[in-house]
Amino acid sequence: MFPSLPPITRALIVANVAVFLLEFLLGEPMIAQFALWPIGPLFHPWQLLTYAFLHEPTNLMHIIANMFALYMFGGALEIYWRQRGAATFYVLYYFVSVLAAAGTELLVLSQTKTVEPVIGASGGVFAMLLGFGWFFPRDRVLVLPIPVPIPAWLLVTLYGGVELWLGVTGRQESVAHFAHLGGMLGGAIMLLLWRSMNRDRTSQPW
């Protein structure tokens, strides 16, 4: 199953797993330098991207869930764009979403005066979920704890609503819910850009 992954998605998964293993060797220095910290003495510009390759070393399910979602939704999106000669757009889609997730979370951290690191590929993964629901809305997906397959558009709606509720109510404080929403926002902007490009017959594929 893994070799059937399209190359960019495969590379992203391999990079995340490699960094996860590296965290076991280097420990806290990895978090200190490459996690996303609030604007201040611990913040560095590269953290806007590097945080998305870090995962909690003591929480194996964190990286498993993210990588499975990247495989499931990202792989389908890469194939879709690759068939249209737009593989580069897929790369842009992922990393713009990661940046949008980082920017959203930094804004929230600045408003709440919270000083804690943000790690994980979830911002990009939520953008992949949104993109899958956009292009394949009627495809049915089985995601626990929902006991039956549901249409992709409904899954996106439920996840977005739950993340907004959890973020506003402050539940699950250890989870960056607004980063997830920021990733979806970045993905939405890129999808609208794609639709605009697709309407223009004179545009060259990215």
107 pLDDT more than 90 = yes
Domains and CATH numbers, the chain: 2-199 (1.20.1540.10)
Q: Of all helices (H) and strands (E), which one includes residue 166?
A: helix 152-169
Residue 1 binned pLDDT confidence (cut-offs 50, 70, 90): very low
DSSP string for 61-130: HHHHHHHHHIIIIIHHHHHHHHHTT-HHHHHHHHHHHHHHHHHHHHHHHHHHT----B--SHHHHHHHHH
Q: Answer left, alpha or beta for residue 113, where phi above 0 means left and psi between -120 and 50 means alpha.
A: left
Q: Of all helices (H) and strands (E), which one includes residue 27?
A: none
Of 73, 134, 128, 57, whose CA–CA distance to 98 is shortest? Answer: 128
Q: Are 67 and 138 in contact (CB under 8 A)?
A: no
Q: Are 122 and 178 in contact (CB under 8 A)?
A: no
2 pLDDT more than 50 = no
Of 46, 39, 49, whose CA–CA distance to 123 is shortest? Answer: 49
What tens digit of pLDDT does each residue of 26-83 get? 878 899 999 999 999 999 999 999 999 999 888 899 899 999 999 999 999 999 999 9
98 pLDDT more than 90 = yes
**In this structure, what DSSP letter does residue 52 have?**
G
Sign of CA dihedral 153, 131, 51, 37: negative
CA angle in degrees (0–180, nearest 5) for 133-19-16:
15
What tens digit of pLDDT does each residue of 165-186 get? 888 887 767 788 889 999 999 9
Euclidean distance between the first and final Cα of the chain, in Å? Answer: 28
Amino acid at 29: P
